[in-house]
Amino acid sequence: MYTHVLFFGRDRRSEKVGESLGIDMDLIRDFRDNYSPLQSDFQLQDFPIYATRLQCMQKKMNKWRPQTLRELAVRPYRDPLTFYAFWFATFVGFIGMMGLGAAIAQAVGGLRP
C-alpha cells in the first residue's frame, strides 16, 4: 500500500494516472489519510522490497548532469539553485553582449561622416 500511496497518492495528477490504470483510488486515499503513520515523508525502510532499487534510482537522479543543449532546459532533481543561477547568468550575459553590440554600433555610426 505504501508503494501505491507513493506513486499514486501524492497529488491530483498522479491520482489520475492511478485511476487510468484501474486502481481503486478511494482505497489508496483512505489508507493514506487514516491508516498510514507516515503522512508526508517516506523512508527507504518503508519499502523492504524496493529499497535497494529506489536507493539506486535516487543516486542516479542526484548525479544527473545535462549532456546536451536541450537538457539544459530541464531542471535537476536536486539543487535547483544552480539551475536558476545558470539561466540568470545566461540572461545577464546575453543582455550585456547586446549592450556591447549596441555600443560598438553607435561608435561605428558616430565615426562615419
Average pLDDT over residues 58-68: 83
* pLDDT at site 100: 97
pLDDT greater than 80 at residue 46: no
pLDDT greater than 60 at residue 39: no
* pLDDT at site 8: 82
Grid coordinates representing 109 are: 555610426
Domain co-membership, 6 together with 40: yes
Average pLDDT over residues 57-80: 83
Q: What is the mean pLDDT of the chain?
A: 85
Domain co-membership, 20 together with 59: yes
- Per the structure, the count of domains in the chain is 2
Provide the residue type at 36 as one letter.
S
Domain co-membership, 29 together with 84: no
Question: Residue 48 has what DSSP assignment?
Answer: T
As a whole number of angstroms, the distance between CA 55 and CA 89 comes to 33
Domain span holding position 22: 1-63
Higher pLDDT, 104 or 82: 104
Provide the residue type at 50 as one letter.
Y
Domain co-membership, 92 together with 56: no
Contacts of 2 (CB under 8 A, 6+ apart): 36, 38, 42, 46, 47
